[in-house]
Amino acid sequence: MQLAENLYFYPWTQTQVNNCNSVFIAGQTPTLVDPGHSQLYGNVETGLTGDGFRDTPPLVIMTHCHPDHLEAAEKLQRAGAKLAMHQAEIDYMHGEGRALASALGMNFPDITFDLILDEGELSLGEHTLEVIHTPGHSPGHVCLHWPRQKALIAGDLVFAQGVGRVDFPGGNGELLKDSIKKVSALDLELVLPGHGPILKGAEQVKKNFALIEQYYFPML
């Protein structure tokens, strides 16, 4: 579904199966963020096709490497997409993160990365986004800030009345709090989390950050 000009959101609503929300940025460099599990990617394809996007996105960005966000990247790379992730997350995926995938009964897909995300500006054709390194849920987790849309693609950093878990290998509560503080200072009217509903409107976004700081920070 379209949220704003060139910004589309494909939520996962089947609570009995774990998968992530996906975000699509249209324009000169069509970009998909967090494609999800391979066997569940049809949900994203259906959404994209319904919105008039039938070609494989040329760029696929992962906010982090947990399988429910990354697994479908393999089939997209085979179809010609270039893949992007933060270097710290690539290192984690090839190291400590393998223990997590194994514990979940999964293996990371056989993929390579064409673009290494660094903190700072990210040019997607006519759009300029900001990559923000937000460790805590995982070491190389990133959020994508789109100042023009006052939007944050949040991955598993924050949710509506929730935060990303830190009990997986590579998780760190203190780093998560620091990352949340960093993004909470942004001028935001739209937060697109990796799971659950979106947060829309500056007041709702601010209230959610305040709730997280009050109730979740003491537990991290």
pLDDT confidence of residue 177: 98
Summarize pLDDT for 64-115 with one digit per residue, the tens. 999 999 999 999 999 999 999 999 999 999 998 877 777 766 678 889 999 9
Summarize pLDDT for 61-71 with one digit per residue, the tens. 999 999 999 99
Strands (E), the chain: 2-4, 7-10, 22-25, 31-33, 59-61, 82-86, 115-117, 120-124, 127-133, 142-146, 151-155, 158-159, 162-163, 190-193, 199-200
Domain spans of the chain? 2-219
- Range 2-219: architecture per CATH: 4-Layer Sandwich (3.60)
* pTM assigned to the model: 0.97
